[in-house]
Chain A
Amino acid sequence: GQNIDQPTEMTATEGAIVQINCTYQTSGFNGLFWYQQHAGEAPTFLSYNVLDGLEEKGRFSSFLSRSKGYSYLLLKELQMKDSASYLCAVGKAAGNKLTFGGGTRVLVKP
């Protein structure tokens, strides 16, 4: 099976930092993706981790621990435009497809 859990909603203040956690259980792990999705729009790629550790890309960073089945997405210097849903997706070797978590809606307040 494949369970992917992430919080439903988070609220943060403009300029602050928010960390979105994602835990997963899967067989045949083939990497973990984070996507951003604004309401009514398609998801856009943020990051990909396949090895343990931190990947930094501007204001966004993503971390992976394969042994713990755990990842997080870190958003720094939050801006109002960062209000969106953030989707954690696990790549599975069998079937070569992605399974998405439920998504975390982040609301950035002034």
Chain B
Amino acid sequence: GAVVSQHPSRVICKSGTSVKIECRSLDFQATTMFWYRQFPKQSLMLMATSNEGSKATYEQGVEKDKFLINHASLTLSTLTVTSAHPEDSSFYICSARVGDWSYNEQFFGPGTRLTVL
């Protein structure tokens, strides 16, 4: 149980285009989903916290107009990278959590590698 999927696993796009990444909890309903970004040989940096039916909470320094998050249901959250540029190339990982507290375990998706040319 507790499987989280992401789609696509890899995407290559041209500079200036938008890319949508889906995160799904397959066998459970997630109270909260998180979006992280990870650059090579670095750790996970939290971008935003997403709760179903409400606006996402963005971390300091993350542009909410550039990284659009929609959390339409308890099993699906999407991250859209708008007007992507080469510096947005990174590994994007989502996680899903049952429960509202930081001590509740987060289950991670397999990640999406975005390359912007």
Given contacts A40-B113, A41-B111, A48 and B43 within 8 Å (CB-CB): no
Given contacts A41-B111, A42-B108, A44-B108, A87 and B102 within 8 Å (CB-CB): no
Tell me, in angstroms, the Cα distance from A82 to B33 when the chains sit together: 28
Tell me, in angstroms, the Cα distance from A33 to B102 when the chains sit together: 10
The answer to whether B43 touches A31 (Cβ under 8 A) is no
Given contacts A50-B103, A91-B102, A95-B49, A41 and B110 within 8 Å (CB-CB): yes
The answer to whether A87 touches B108 (Cβ under 8 A) is no
Which chain B residue shows the least CB distance to A32?
A: B103
**B42 at interface (Cβ–Cβ under 8 A)?**
yes
Q: Collect the chain B residues with CB atoms within 8 Å of residue A105's CB.
A: 41
**A70 at interface (Cβ–Cβ under 8 A)?**
no
Tell me, in angstroms, the Cα distance from A40 to B41 when the chains sit together: 10
**B34 at interface (Cβ–Cβ under 8 A)?**
yes
Q: Collect the chain A residues with CB atoms within 8 Å of residue B93's CB.
A: 42-43
Q: Collect the chain B residues with CB atoms within 8 Å of residue A99's CB.
A: 46
A-contacting residues, B72-117, CB 8 Å: 91, 93, 100-103, 105-111, 113
Interface residues on B, range: 20 to 34
Q: Which residues on B are within 8 Å of A, measured CB to CB?
A: 4, 32, 34, 41-46, 49, 57, 91, 93, 100-103, 105-111, 113
Q: Collect the chain A residues with CB atoms within 8 Å of residue B107's CB.
A: 45
- Helix, strand, loop or mixed for chain A's interface? strand
Given contacts A40-B91, A43-B44, A100-B44, A30 and B103 within 8 Å (CB-CB): yes
Which of A43, A50, A103 has the largest count of B CB atoms less than 10 A from its CB? A43
Number of interface residues of A (CB under 8 A): 26
Q: Please, could you name 25 A-B residue pairs with CB atoms under 8 Å apart, sorted by A?
A: A30-B102, A42-B93, A42-B108, A42-B109, A42-B110, A42-B111, A43-B93, A43-B108, A44-B108, A50-B103, A87-B43, A87-B44, A91-B101, A92-B102, A93-B101, A95-B57, A95-B102, A96-B32, A97-B46, A97-B49, A97-B102, A98-B106, A101-B43, A102-B43, A105-B41
Tell me, in angstroms, the Cα distance from A96 to B41 when the chains sit together: 26
